[in-house]
Amino acid sequence: MNKFPTIGILGGGQLAQMLALDGYPLGFRFVFFDPTADACAGLVGELMVADYDNEIALEEFANKCDFITYDFENVPVDAAKFVAKRSDVFPHPNVLKIAQDRLNEKVLFREQLKLPVGDFFTVDSYSELVFAAKSCEKNGFLKTRRMGYDGKGQHRITENTDLKSLWDKLEGGSFILEKAVDFKREVSVILARNIQGEISCYELCENKHKEGILTTTLVPAVESKNSLMAFDYAKKIANALNYVGVLTVEMFETDDGLLINEMAPRVHNSGHWSIEGAVTSQFENHLRAGIGLPLGSTDMSKGFSAMINWIGEIPVVSLTTKEKDVYWHIYGKQNRPGRKVGHSTVVADNAQDLHSKVVHLAQLLGAKK
């Protein structure tokens, strides 16, 4: 390995940007590959602009890199496999392939690893939709098997849903219908696993969503009887996949225990708090894991932390105020409804202090007392 390796990132979004920002102090170089000329990672490093099926550009990209990873899990698997013939890629493209298909992911969890998941049904036809809707008592979510994230590609199924109209509108395709889960909260485990098989876990995260998009993460999640089991489940998945890098596993906590929702084979939105909230951020540990360095400490820098997403537009106060223990991260993306354009992290010594700081931040943003 070169003393100061060049790391390529397929995808040029904010995750690529934050990977580079945490990698530069370690001497790493970065090259980003994205079909979009204004991809925000281009603000912090070399951006190659080409389609993912452009093998000439991919080869040029791979030849520049000692290691390659991903900015998001919907990078075409064929592109990942192509560059893997020319450079070390982490996590393995086979993991990417599983994570891109909700059905394959659920089958991995339930059938191969014997882990608990909610009821789900394959839907490839109108008749299968009718059967699945009946089986879940018309209380579920019809999701595209591929390419859905942040609430995209999802349709709520209820007693009032006109299944025929919905199917006609969809014009076919491959779907999965997931029965709605009556859960108390969503939690996520973020772990780093390196090529030697060493695993380090961050504190359990509790996540809150609005319209399918993560808005807030609180760390550590209030401990429950299921907390230790959450880490066991995530480690089992990572070891079964011989995973390398940061892996995030999202779970629903119910009265009866945990149900695994999905995994993300990359650094994750619910781990953004770790930039200021942990000794070693998820971004640095993803890089450390992938190139074979010892993992950094996942201990918290203070006792508690929170992450608040900015959706659609950056608050004006981000440029006009500086609050103690509140940090602003602006990605350099154009404002757009439903788009993640930045986030804030908050750190505190105790839960009460964290609550006070988050409430104060909300008030700065115009929330009523």
Question: For the domain that residue 17 is a member of, what is the CATH number?
Answer: 3.40.50.20
- The pLDDT assigned to 364 comes to 74
Q: Which of 11, 14, 3 is nearest to 31 (CA)?
A: 11
Residue 310 pLDDT grade (very low, low, confident, very high; cuts 50, 70, 90): confident
- The pLDDT assigned to 369 comes to 47
Q: What is the dihedral sign for C-alpha 175, 176, 177, 181?
A: negative
Euclidean distance between CA atoms 220 and 63, whole angstroms: 41
- The 8 Å CB, 24+ separation contacts for 128-135 are 129/163, 129/166, 129/167, 129/175, 129/177, 130/163, 132/177, 133/157, 133/161, 133/163, 133/177, 135/179
Q: Which of 147, 179, 211 is the last residue of a domain?
A: 179
Q: Do residue 175 and residue 189 come from a single domain? A: no
Euclidean distance between CA atoms 154 and 170, whole angstroms: 11
85 lies in some domain:
yes
Q: Do residue 84 and residue 123 come from a single domain? A: no
- The pLDDT assigned to 34 comes to 97
Q: In this structure, what CATH number is given to the domain that contains residue 123?
A: 3.30.1490.20
48/312: higher pLDDT? 48
- The pLDDT assigned to 212 comes to 75
Name the residue type at position 282. Q
Torsion of CA 152, 201, 236, 213, to 10 degrees: -10
Q: Which of 179, 200, 217 is the last residue of a domain?
A: 179
Q: Do residue 191 and residue 318 come from a single domain? A: yes
Q: Which of 84, 8, 81, 79 is nearest to 48 (CA)?
A: 8
Residue 154 pLDDT grade (very low, low, confident, very high; cuts 50, 70, 90): confident
Residue 2 has pLDDT above 90, yes or no: no
**Tens-place pLDDT, residues 65-118:** 999 999 988 899 999 999 999 999 999 999 999 999 999 999 999 999 999 999
- The pLDDT assigned to 209 comes to 84
Euclidean distance between CA atoms 336 and 115, whole angstroms: 38
Q: Which of 336, 342, 332, 334 is nearest to 365 (CA)?
A: 342
Residue 1 has pLDDT above 90, yes or no: no
Q: In this structure, what CATH number is given to the domain that contains residue 264?
A: 3.30.470.20
103 lies in some domain:
no
Residue 257 has pLDDT above 90, yes or no: yes
- The pLDDT assigned to 80 comes to 97
Q: Which of 179, 206, 223 is the last residue of a domain?
A: 179
Q: What are the φ and ψ backbone dihedral angles of 246, each rounded to 5 degrees?
A: -90, 130
104 lies in some domain:
no
Instruction: Flag the least confident range among 1-10, 94-103, 160-169.
Output: 1-10
Torsion of CA 242, 244, 250, 253, to 10 degrees: 60
- The pLDDT assigned to 366 comes to 61
Q: Do residue 288 and residue 351 come from a single domain? A: yes
94 lies in some domain:
no
Euclidean distance between CA atoms 241 and 276, whole angstroms: 30
Q: Do residue 52 and residue 145 come from a single domain? A: no
User: Which residue range is the domain that position 140 belongs to?
Assistant: 119-179
Q: Do residue 202 and residue 63 come from a single domain? A: no
Is the pTM higher than 0.85?
Answer: yes
Residue 294 pLDDT grade (very low, low, confident, very high; cuts 50, 70, 90): very high
Residue 318 pLDDT grade (very low, low, confident, very high; cuts 50, 70, 90): low
Beta-carbon neighbour count of residue 349 at 10 Å? 11
- The pLDDT assigned to 51 comes to 97
User: Which tokens is 110 given?
Assistant: 């339930």
Q: Do residue 167 and residue 280 come from a single domain? A: no
369 lies in some domain:
no
Q: Do residue 46 and residue 128 come from a single domain? A: no
**Tens-place pLDDT, residues 186-218:** 999 999 999 999 999 999 999 988 877 888 899
Residue 14 has pLDDT above 50, yes or no: yes
Q: Do residue 27 and residue 136 come from a single domain? A: no
Residue 368 pLDDT grade (very low, low, confident, very high; cuts 50, 70, 90): very low
**Tens-place pLDDT, residues 215-239:** 889 999 999 999 999 999 999 999 9
225 lies in some domain:
yes
Residue 134 has pLDDT above 80, yes or no: yes
- Tally the domains of the chain: 3
Q: Do residue 241 and residue 137 come from a single domain? A: no
Q: Do residue 30 and residue 132 come from a single domain? A: no
Residue 322 has pLDDT above 90, yes or no: no
Q: Which of 279, 285, 327 is nearest to 303 (CA)?
A: 279
Q: Which of 55, 44, 47 is nearest to 31 (CA)?
A: 47
- The pLDDT assigned to 151 comes to 56
Instruction: Work out the burial of residue 121: count CB atoms within 10 Å of its CB; fewer than 13 is exposed, 13-18 middle, 19 or more buried.
Output: buried
1 lies in some domain:
no
- The pLDDT assigned to 319 comes to 64
98 lies in some domain:
no
What's the mean pLDDT when you consider all of the chain? 92
Q: Do residue 208 and residue 332 come from a single domain? A: yes
Residue 248 pLDDT grade (very low, low, confident, very high; cuts 50, 70, 90): very high
